[in-house]
Structure 1
């Protein structure tokens, strides 16, 4: 199947320039537009007419008032603190730049992801921020009709899509190092899979795998023995994390510190520890990962790997709008957000 990228390659321009020409935008030089149309005819490429009609409607509507672009945000869930905070910050950053945001949750389901990409791309979205699970760069580009796209926290080695990452390995390594530095030696990890001693290649590309990799690096550098029995599985929500404390109570009582792989997991763990009569931090220290705002209001307040979520939102929106504005010479980028250890009462 011929794609916009193929037409762009034939004409010597970017896929976004092809999109602008074939949609009738007047911001492309006439000689360039002529070259694009000739390449499209040669390759028998035809634009998706549903997408074209939607784009025309958005432009004609915007001309009656203040002109806003529209970006789509497809994120894994909205009923947990971290993704909802990120979605809010993306919306704020987009609005500063004259864009409105349409948000959908994928539930980390490939069918949902495919459907959401197609719907967003065939409606009013000029570009897409996408938290992917398994879809390839080629499939994302095809489903989105070659809309500009930025991936969120997808560490596969994509060469033709921009990616913004959380500092999973470095942050997890810093968390274990911090717990060791305050004198804790029986450190457990909650939120990973204990069945594997080595993280598989596939797992190492996703958030959970990258964080467990950071933990293992820290254990090795600190000369600590890696004990899979102290790696406790739980889904990344507070309800299941609280239950995991009860399920793995004997293991947890053998630990003097726990690294929780998200702040939301830490919230449930702290409640679960209260249930079984363990004091935080006297009996067991707790550190989370994310730096979401509500961690400061917990009792005890949560020590955490505080990711700069505003930085993620800002960089993601900036990269996407630069693609929308058609900067063909901008190399595709992989950027990682900054972080620091936010020391509070729990550790």
Structure 2
């Protein structure tokens, strides 16, 4: 079994210096800290999660004699319905397993992500659930000192970390097939990232957006539709920018009889934008979303959507993480895709 002393010998420092670095203390020179992390990475050393900092936090979070472990949740944003609902469900699932959750917002920023792993997770948490968008698996492993980690919706093939995925490809494929089966023949896609990029190029990308585009592409190609002729409207995945995109690309929108939106929140903005153009849903244009968030059932019109089993995503993420915390053996990583169904409502 590898110890701190082993890491110290490998890095040429004391065990105390190794402890300071791996616990996230900032009293070690950056060059030395980097050398220690690289040594720990080479030796596959994982900081004991019953460390003093974790034990201290457990003491402070004891309630009625019950002691809680702590997990970190780093999620891309908290001011949108899907991630906030997911964060709440993860927190509830963790509490049922005897863990409390420290939630941090990354804002899809690499600097924030590194800081959260180094400062928050290493100081206080037994493990981390992380919606990575900028960091490689190797960097996450190194920054977290090989702490137990579960990734949310990150399907890059080099990952050697447990992962829970939304059904992006198959869900998007079935969404297009659903709209086609309902008689729609001019289906547009709303949710490209932005101006200046070729949204039809999807082959070498593994993030959520590109996996959903790949699902759309597969559906259109199997239906005999030229993928390069499919209108793709670029926008960030929020209601405000989606509404603006509908107005900006009004001529393209008017040529469609259905719009598949990459998220439910995007669909909310699209429906508002269509109203701005004097178009009715679903009479003039059908609209379909992806996520299955709770509020999609109560808006007017209610949203037809690819309804992901969000409670399953939360529960599986927590279960996989706690399995790693309880058993630090080097077993094969897990990759789970969440269940889903097409929720047919008023908008399509």
What's the TM-score, normalizing by structure 2? 0.85
Per the alignment, residue 331 of structure 1 pairs with: 332
- Deviation string 1:225-280 (CA, Å, 9 cap, x unpaired) is 22456100011000111111110111100000000000000000001111111111
| Alpha-carbon contact 1:73-1:104 (below 8 Å) kept | yes
The 1-side partners of 2:244 and 2:4 are apart by 61
The 1-side partners of 2:300 and 2:294 are apart by 14
Alpha-carbon spacing, 1:63–1:90, altered in 2? closer, same or farther (3 Å)? closer
In angstroms, what is the RMSD of aligned CA positions? 2.0
| Alpha-carbon contact 1:235-1:241 (below 8 Å) kept | yes
Q: Report the Cα offset of residue 37 of structure 1.
A: 7.0
| Superposition misfits of 4+ residues, deviation over 3 angstroms | 36-47, 59-64
The answer on 1:49 being equivalent to 2:49 is: no
Per the alignment, residue 78 of structure 1 pairs with: 78
TM alignment of 1:258-277, pairs within 5 A: 258-277=259-278
| Alpha-carbon contact 2:54-2:70 (below 8 Å) kept | no
The 2-side partners of 1:152 and 1:306 are apart by 17
Alpha-carbon spacing, 1:96–1:218, altered in 2? closer, same or farther (3 Å)? same
- Deviation string 1:168-222 (CA, Å, 9 cap, x unpaired) is 1000000000000000000000012572432251xx2111110100000000111
* Most deviating of 51-60 and 271-280: 51-60
* Most deviating of 110-119 and 132-141: 132-141
Per the alignment, residue 312 of structure 2 pairs with: 311
| Alpha-carbon contact 1:121-1:145 (below 8 Å) kept | no
TM alignment of 1:220-259, pairs within 5 A: 220-228=221-229, 230-259=231-260
Q: Report the Cα offset of residue 147 of structure 1.
A: 1.2
Number of positions where the alignment pairs a residue of Structure 1 with one of Structure 2: 312
Q: What are the ranges of 5 or more consecutive residues in structure 1 without an aligned counterpart?
A: 1-10, 12-17, 19-35
Alpha-carbon spacing, 1:104–1:232, altered in 2? closer, same or farther (3 Å)? same
| Alpha-carbon contact 1:238-1:265 (below 8 Å) kept | yes
Alpha-carbon spacing, 1:246–1:41, altered in 2? closer, same or farther (3 Å)? closer
| Alpha-carbon contact 1:131-1:154 (below 8 Å) kept | yes
Q: What are the ranges of 5 or more consecutive residues in structure 2 without an aligned counterpart?
A: 24-50
